[in-house]
Amino acid sequence: MDGRGVEVRVRRSRYAARSPRTPLADQQAGSRADATARRARRERHERAAHRGAADGRRAAQAQCRGRGAHLPRRRPRLHQDRQPHSRRHRRGPLVRDAPVIRVLVVGGTIFVGPSVVRQLAQAGHDVAIFHRGEHETDLPPDVRHIHGDRDAIADHREAIAEFSPEVVVDMRAMTEGQARATADAVRGIAGRLVVVSSMDVYRAYGRLHGTEPGPPLEPPFDEDSPLRESLYVYREHTPAVITQRPAWMDDYEKILVERVAMQDRELAGSVVRFPMVHGERDGQRRFYWLWKRMDDRRRFILVSDKNAAFQSSRTHVDNAAHAVALVATDARATGRVYNVGEPDALPLSEWASLIARQVRWGGQLVIRPNDDLPAHLRDARPDMWDHHLVADTSRIRRELGYREVVSREEGLRRALEWYAAEPPADPKAAGNLDYEAEDAALVTIRASAVP
């Protein structure tokens, strides 16, 4: 009875403790059995909900493509009972917490592309690569190859449709025309298009190159920072790191490449903006000029004061590839733009110190005003180095859980080992070397320092 004289019936829960007359051991055993049953039911419900959500996403994506009958394969049964995000089924840099998908990589045989292909394949995805067949790099044996000219990729639409990719990653779209060719070739076949872009789309890059006058902009730059207003930054000059000007350079423009991907009405676009990328197979050999002088055991290396202080986002090739693979396989990246780069951007002088430690160089980095340097090391526009190119990479870390898969030191070590193993055809030109002129400049600098 309650305080108002009303009888209250207490319904015993089926999971309540047993009668005191039941032996204690039986009570404990029953409680454990009940807890086990509750846990098993909860796990079954969670797995069913997880599979249902995944099936819903796949069906929605297929419907958008008009290919409802061709849904991606489910994960192997071995993984269906595992909790998502478990470290136990990590295979390579990507975690297998999503269904297997089919990915076509366009132009993935030179620098970053091979690492993208390997990481996707290691994660269990079906991968095909479209390329000319001129650079048959070492790739997993189950990767399919479609050979053709990327500028005529539409001629291979039938072969692409046979593979039926769900996501297409264009690693080498340098011009608006190339990006449109890829989009036209895969529209109606794939559901998503991921393009690799560059930090050169930002206004700060235009000011660095003098195409857009103005004071230095305050870094870091996030994905919504102002873009360049002047297009085709390389029509008037060729970057010093490029020894042979390619035919597409007059029409090079990553801003237009991004627009093609993000404004297509049938393809869901994503953009990955690269920083300066170093590592194995880097045709530009970004640190070669420093490494070569240290490897030649030069006692002094001359560098301008503004260049020594210049900060730009950088990363190793495998880290850049990991970002691309992550964006390609995570539906949350649809319609998004992501910067990639190490969390902090070191000035060039600190990179020189890291290289010196790697090769055990005991010389001195001589930092001087631009006018004190020999002609071959002097910058035509020394103030260009006042425009730092530092990216804010918090978005891809926050939204997709991106983390570097190769440390700064390890990535630098691999790059330097590759420099030694694969010397350029003309080391003097590649390193901008003129030791006689550099020695003469050092004599002048020392003489001017004597009171």
Separation CA 12–CA 405 (nearest Å)? 54
Is 216 found in the same domain as 302?
no
pTM: 0.78
Q: What is the pLDDT of residue 34?
A: 52
Query: Is 290 domain-assigned?
Result: yes
Helix, strand and coil percent figures for the chain, each rounded to 5: 45, 15, 40
Query: Is 11 domain-assigned?
Result: no
Q: What is the CA radius of gyration of the chain?
A: 29
- What's the pLDDT tens digit per position in 377-430? 999 899 999 999 999 999 999 999 999 999 999 999 999 999 999 999 999 999
Q: What is the pLDDT of residue 160?
A: 97
Is 396 found in the same domain as 258?
yes
The CATH number covering residue 253 comes to: 3.40.50.720
For residues 219 and 247, the model is more confident at 219
User: Average pLDDT in the 85-103 region?
Assistant: 58
User: Are 84 and 57 contacting, i.e. CB atoms less than 8 angstroms apart?
Assistant: no
Cα 91 → chain centroid: 18
Lowest mean pLDDT across 49-53, 114-118, 201-205, 430-434: 49-53
Is 67 found in the same domain as 110?
no
Q: Which of 47, 71, 95 is the last residue of a domain?
A: 71
Q: Helix, strand, or coil here: 388? A: coil
Q: Which residue has the tokens 């995805």?
A: 125
Query: Is 48 domain-assigned?
Result: yes
Query: Is 7 domain-assigned?
Result: no
Is 261 found in the same domain as 151?
yes
Q: Is the pLDDT of residue 43 over 60?
A: no
Is 228 found in the same domain as 339?
yes
Is 227 found in the same domain as 243?
yes
Query: Is 324 domain-assigned?
Result: yes
Query: Is 9 domain-assigned?
Result: no
Is 200 found in the same domain as 160?
yes
Q: What is the pLDDT of residue 40?
A: 55
Is 161 found in the same domain as 289?
no
For residues 216 and 2, the model is more confident at 216
Query: Is 158 domain-assigned?
Result: yes
Q: Which residue has the tokens 């000011």?
A: 207
Is 252 found in the same domain as 170?
yes
The CATH number covering residue 290 comes to: 3.90.25.10
Cα 166 → chain centroid: 20
Q: Is the pLDDT of residue 8 over 80?
A: no
User: Residues with Cβ < 8 Å from 398, sequence gap 6 or more?
Assistant: none
Separation CA 79–CA 195 (nearest Å)? 30
For residues 241 and 171, the model is more confident at 171
Is 202 found in the same domain as 112?
yes
User: Are 340 and 315 contacting, i.e. CB atoms less than 8 angstroms apart?
Assistant: yes
Supply the range of the domain harboring residue 37: 17-71
Domain count for the chain, please give it: 3
Is 186 found in the same domain as 42?
no
Is 394 found in the same domain as 295?
no
- What's the pLDDT tens digit per position in 260-288? 999 999 999 999 999 999 999 999 999 99
Query: Is 336 domain-assigned?
Result: yes
